[in-house]
Chains A and B, each alone.
Chain A
């Protein structure tokens, strides 16, 4: 169809939309981690160790990227049932990740490190705000996965159109990579 766009540009407009959008999400976290670095160099900074459960969460989200990629592969092969199963597994792993992050917050609280409130130190508050915002992005991804999963069951779904699942998988890999960055930052750099 010649009307829509220049044939030289092969990227789907919505993919371009997503890529630029990911850039702006990067800026949210770039802003926060820069503020973290500035704040860390000032007085009254509390050093503490990350609870081990964050390591487990990291493994879980890495694994979910793998299952997401399998889902895309099955979708492209036209295998609808395995495709849906991999989507479900990915979403479940996403939920597990969120639960583990929550456990991490609880573990910090148990160590008497307040995340918010009068006794809180901004070191812990930063960790909380940054991971919480990431968590919300993961939640958005889980919702999107369920969205494409249930859409694939609807009557007017075209199995050959893999663009929606490709968009979701790009986003999912992005939140995965974002978490790796944040984890490395919080664990070793910050």
Chain B
């Protein structure tokens, strides 16, 4: 009895086996189907497309500031037409540069790689892969998107205020974030940043609670926790991390709001502002903010990464036609990464005057992450080993992810050591590290997911040739952009500087910077190619004609080619096995809903 209340009444009716509703909705208007939709699949697409808009904007910002770094002496009149007073004389002003860097970071971390990645795939895959008609609360799910949308609009509006968007770095450390008079970007831009982030936290909490409740409670018959695809496990841990760490960021931001607007002294002490004079704030600690911020900030890194880990595991297994190697080890390593995520935040703070003894504890905990990460890499490689590999674009991006994860993970071992970090902190080495292991790698996970599940999303295929072109240029470009930055960082080049050409020690990098900027522009243009492919294929792509185009085992491929709200026209299939029965007993693949045969060898 109590179960029914969770689902919509009309969904309850659907379950009685009407065949006709798979292709159209009974009472849906344009508004309830495409805008205020409560269908998890539509909400997933809303998250994806909003994330894509932000990825273009955030990417464009990086092109603009790379233009400054690559060509510090040139002037581009078109920049003044585009940015007005922010690029007087065709060159980006220092204030605009910092605004661009800050917004690029905020937008890519939160709006693209959190909302755009886990918002999309958690919404899309959880009900489909666990065998549920929708989320635990479709209404809250809809609210989650609309909070994200509102947060997006507020952030977007901050680009257009007279004093510019917030420009104190995506971490929003006080005092730059706490004092209106600290910089132009600290005025209205920062107010809007705070409002936007508060709305974003609400959005990700509403979403995360739903994902957890759905995975724990709405699985179909036979779908035990250890029969879940690894995508679902990864999305589950992602949601747990979000639900436990975003509230701490919220507390940090609330204290910041009080310091900013109500004269309290949580983070502020003994400050003299030019043109204003000495402030009355006493006894505050800016480091306190860093602790609260990084208690979210580090789990946030894994919130970004874990969905990619899960999707890559699934895609590699499907396209190698082999069971994933070490399912339980994959699960255990996801679990230990999720635990360790909460215990390493101070490795972002080695240079804050942290007690060296405490620092060494955080070094140890940080380096421990190498173990589960190593297990995962080993298992992906052993899954690929002697597999019957299908190099689909999705698979290429998944393999590319593994490559980037190794390259970026190795430099994590460097930076996790406090002794090395003191030298490398705030240098381009750090920029290279986190862009490869978190930024580009997770983007690759996202691309892999889009290419792989696009047939399920739209009932059509993406163009393969464009997909290959997209992959190879992006893959080569990612290394060409970020690999040289390690070298620059080791040479001591600091991040966030506006113009390196005036520093004698960094003049040697003028050509390298120009090279990096050029590649960045090419890679950005290639992403537009992907967008064209994406939107063109929605309407004109090759139609999917079979239920299970990749011959995969998971439940989403048992739904109709274009599933309606409720996902399965008849009853939800029952699950009899784990999702990785590939190449078993002479069968290429055995879907999860196939009952165990009499003469079958051991099953999960």
Contacts and interface: CB of A to CB of B under 8 A. Distances in A.
28 contacts: A2-B571, A3-B15, A3-B133, A9-B216, A12-B2, A16-B212, A16-B216, A17-B140, A21-B243, A24-B246, A27-B243, A27-B245, A28-B247, A31-B252, A35-B288, A35-B292, A38-B285, A38-B288, A38-B291, A44-B283, A117-B263, A120-B263, A120-B265, A122-B266, A122-B284, A125-B258, A129-B264, A161-B5
Contacts of B521: none
Interface string A52-79: 0000000000000000000000000000
A42 B283 CA distance: 8
A163 B7 CA distance: 14
A118 interface: yes
B479 to A, nearest CB: 38
A133 interface: yes
A93 to B, nearest CB: 27
Interface residues of B, number: 57
A14 B140 CA distance: 10
Given A13-B218, A122-B284, A21 B265 contact: no
Interface in B217-257: 217-221, 223, 243-248, 250-252, 254-255
B572 interface: yes
A107 interface: no
Quick one: which of A4, A16, A119 has the most chain B CB within 10 A?
Answer: A4
Contacts of A180: none
Nearest to A3: B15
B6 interface: yes
Given A9-B216, A13-B136, A31-B295, A4 B247 contact: no
A155 interface: no
Given A5-B219, A31-B251, 16 more contacts: A1-B15, A3-B572, A6-B219, A14-B6, A14-B137, A16-B136, A17-B137, A21-B243, A24-B208, A25-B247, A29-B251, A35-B291, A38-B288, A42-B285, A118-B281, A161-B5
A24 B209 contact: yes
Nearest to B263: A117
A72 B597 CA distance: 50
B576 to A, nearest CB: 14
A26 B20 CA distance: 46
A148 to B, nearest CB: 13
Contacts of A32: 251, 254-255
B120 interface: no
B30 interface: no
B291 A17 contact: no
A60 B355 CA distance: 45
B604 interface: no
A30 interface: yes
A48 to B, nearest CB: 15
A120 B269 CA distance: 12
A4 B7 contact: yes
A39 interface: yes
B217 A20 contact: no
Interface in B263-280: 263-266, 280
B357 interface: no
A174 B561 CA distance: 45
Contact of B266 (A5, A21, A125): A125
Nearest to A125: B264
A45 interface: yes
B511 to A, nearest CB: 47
Given A23-B243, A129-B255, A2 B221 contact: yes
B283 A20 contact: no
A129 B258 contact: yes
B216 to A, nearest CB: 6
Contact of A4 (B140, B218, B248, B252): B218
B3 interface: yes
A31 B289 CA distance: 11
A101 to B, nearest CB: 17
Interface residues of A, number: 45
B521 to A, nearest CB: 41
Nearest to B252: A31
Nearest to B219: A6
A181 B245 CA distance: 20
A45 B288 CA distance: 15
Contacts of A126: 266
B244 A27 contact: yes
Contact of A163 (B5, B132, B210): B5
A4 B6 contact: yes
Quick one: which of A118, A126, A161 has the most chain B CB within 10 A?
Answer: A118
A28 B251 contact: yes
A189 interface: no
B209 A5 contact: no
A116 interface: yes
Contacts of A85: none
Quick one: which of A21, A38, A116 has the most chain B CB within 10 A?
Answer: A21
A32 B218 CA distance: 34
A80 interface: no
Quick one: which of A6, A42, A117 has the most chain B CB within 10 A?
Answer: A6
A190 to B, nearest CB: 15
Given A116-B263, A125-B265, A31 B247 contact: yes
Nearest to A28: B247
Interface in B1-37: 1-7, 12, 15
B571 A39 contact: no
B205 interface: yes
A9 B136 CA distance: 13
Contacts of B162: none
Contacts of B5: 12, 14, 161, 163
A43 interface: yes
B262 interface: yes
Nearest to A130: B251
